[in-house]
Structure 1
Amino acid sequence: MDIKLELVAVPVTDVDRAKAFYEQVGFHTDHDVTVSEEIRFVQLTPPGSACSIALGKGLTRMAPGSLDNMQVVVADIEAAHTELTARGIEVSEIDDQPWGSFVYFSDPDGNGWAVQQTVPRKAPEA
């Protein structure tokens, strides 16, 4: 049996502000549908990803900003850091760990993201 993670709800206070932020990061808007005054569904997908995020109104009971450590993976952390910075995203410096190299950022509500290169840039010190 295949089980595929395809959609994760991200709790936000302002759907338009969050949508603009994730588009600035580089996510593609797949859907933006207002179903009623109580429900709006916005689906965005990172380039090359099989999993999308959903922003909206009436989608989740999680508090805005409560999602922490969502993780995406890239082949080149230095290129990702450079591109995100060029797009105006405030990212951390590169954090090298034995299990990978990371940069971190948060959306306007404080939902936290990690960008990981699974092969560390530097070999662990002995």
Structure 2
Amino acid sequence: MDWTLEVVMVPVTDLDRSIEFYRDRIGFDLDHKTVNEFMTVAQLTPRGSGCSIVVGTLPAQQQMTPGSLKGLQLVVADAYAAREELVGRGVECEEITVFDERDGGTLFGFADPDGNTWAVQQMKVRGEKPLIPR
């Protein structure tokens, strides 16, 4: 049986600010924004990913403190180009650290406006063999 991770809830304080950050600065696609009497949520997906994030007012999110999610990880084929792209969009990023010269050992990090943190790992193989076929 396959088990796929498809959604991670990210606790935030301001839905519209979070949409702007993840869509316009980080480059995630906005899949939908839903507002009704039960919830206000948005689902955003990194390009090339099978897993999305959800920000908003779902009951499980209300149980988490905004900014308390630490160490979510994104994978890119070129960490240097990815960092340059984010910095160019106004995202404060950590410097790149090379822990190991082999694929997977190059990383940098950033935080969203609430302080949820992300690591960006370089896996050059993703440029040749993406997880989601294009």
Name the TM-score, length of structure 1 as normaliser.
Answer: 0.89
Deviations 1:60-108 (A, max 9, x none): 1111000000000000011101111111111011011125111100000
1:5 alignment partner in structure 2? 5
Supply the AA of the counterpart residue of 2:120: V
1:29 matched to 2:26: no
Off by >6 Å, runs of 4+ in structure 1:
none
Structure 2: segments with no counterpart, 5+ residues: 125-134
Q: Percent identity?
A: 50
Q: Which residue of 1 aligns with 2:15?
A: 15
Q: Match of 1:17, SS?
A: helix
Does the Cα contact within 8 Å between 1:35 and 1:41 map onto a contact in 2?
no
Q: Which has the higher helix share?
A: 2
Separation of aligned partners in 2, 1:111 and 1:49: 19
| Matched position secondary structure for 1:4 | coil
Partner of 2:90: 88
Runs of 5+ consecutive residues of structure 1 not aligned to the other structure: 120-126
Q: How many residues align?
A: 118
Tell me how large the CA RMSD over aligned residues is: 1.2
AA aligned opposite 1:95: T
